[in-house]
């Protein structure tokens, strides 16, 4: 019974708009926009509540009604990513950027897909592109800093850049998340500043211990050993 409510409402809106206006194009556009808006938000809700398949269905309906909705394409890309359909997701993010180049999120997600494929060079390019649009985007700042600090054969200049990026990320998050502290420690080490690398890693280790995050405790302990012996995480 409830499934009839949406199409019935759409027809009712169409009839009212048709009667009250003189522009047929405007009438149809307004109904399509309303239809797309409803399915976009349903898709967003389903994605947020752990149903990527349901989100995909809603978002495809939204795109049918509004093919130039770059936001719907981006959300569809996310739903496909969560289903492991990376090639399809990549196309959605690229299509979204064609419609609206001034977006950070599609570049961040394209970089994340690149990392799934072990293509750090392409990921770095996408994170940089995201930061050109949104210089304070935390995930792009942190992930780019981590890549520059840990990728083999990266330069000391890139290590210095990673310190600036990691510090900027921490400025956007006053509660100092563990993952950002871990990145900053790695960045200090890549820049050759092992004193600050050790101090930051010790701070992160104490916080991880207090939060009973045993996996990160073990990881940070291994990192500390390297920093104390004058080694960074690049494995050069």
**What CATH number is given to the structural domain containing 198?**
1.25.40.10
Residue 82 in any domain: the answer is no
Residue 86 in any domain: the answer is no
Structural contact between residues 187 and 148, judged by C-beta atoms closer than 8 angstroms: yes
Radius of gyration over alpha carbons of the chain, in Å?
A: 23
Residue 106 in any domain: the answer is no
Residue 102 in any domain: the answer is no
- Count Cβ neighbours within 10 Å for each residue of 95-131 and write b for 16 or more, e otherwise: bbbeeeeebbbbbbbbbbbbeeeeebeebbbbbebbb
Residue 104 in any domain: the answer is no
Which DSSP category does 153 fall into? Answer: T
Residue 66: which residues within 8 A CB-CB, separation 6 or more? 32, 33, 36, 72
**Rounded-to-integer distance, Cα 91 and Cα 81, Å:** 11
118 φ/ψ sector (left φ>0, alpha ψ -120 to 50, else beta): left
Per-residue pLDDT of the chain (236 residues; tens, 9 = 90+): 333 333 333 333 333 333 333 334 334 466 667 878 888 889 999 999 999 999 999 999 999 988 899 999 999 999 999 999 999 999 999 999 999 999 999 999 999 999 999 999 999 999 999 999 999 999 999 999 999 999 988 788 999 999 999 999 999 998 899 999 999 999 999 999 999 999 999 999 999 999 999 999 999 999 999 999 999 999 75
Residue 115 in any domain: the answer is no
Structural contact between residues 108 and 126, judged by C-beta atoms closer than 8 angstroms: yes
Residue 95 in any domain: the answer is no
Give the residue numbers spanning the domain of 190: 136-236
Q: Please count the structural domains in the chain.
A: 1
Residue 3 in any domain: the answer is no
């Amino acid at each position: 019974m409830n499934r009839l409510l949406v199409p019935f409402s759409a027809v009712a809106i169409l009839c009212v708009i048709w009667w009250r206006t003189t522009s047929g194009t405007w009438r149809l556009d307004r109904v399509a926009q309303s239809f797309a808006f409803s399915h976009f938000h349903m898709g967003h809700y389903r994605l947020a509540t752990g149903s990527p398949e349901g989100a995909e269905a809603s978002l495809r309906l939204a795109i049918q009604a509004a093919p130039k909705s770059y936001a719907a394409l981006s959300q569809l890309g996310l739903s496909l990513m969560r289903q492991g359909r990376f090639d399809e997701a990549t196309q959605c993010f690229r299509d979204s950027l064609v419609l609206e180049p001034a977006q950070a999120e599609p570049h961040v997600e394209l970089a994340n897909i690149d990392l799934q494929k072990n293509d750090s060079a392409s990921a770095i390019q996408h994170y940089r592109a995201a930061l050109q649009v949104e210089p304070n985007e935390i995930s792009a700042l942190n992930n780019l800093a981590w890549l520059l600090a840990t990728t083999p054969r990266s330069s000391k200049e890139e290590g210095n850049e990673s310190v600036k990026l990691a510090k900027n990320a921490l400025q956007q998050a006053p509660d100092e998340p563990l993952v950002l502290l871990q990145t900053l420690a790695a960045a200090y080490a890549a820049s050759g500043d092992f004193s600050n690398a050790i101090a930051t890693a010790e701070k992160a280790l104490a916080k991880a211990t207090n939060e009973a995050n045993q996996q990160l405790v073990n990881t940070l302990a291994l990192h500390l050993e390297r920093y104390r012996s004058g080694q960074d995480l690049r494995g050069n």
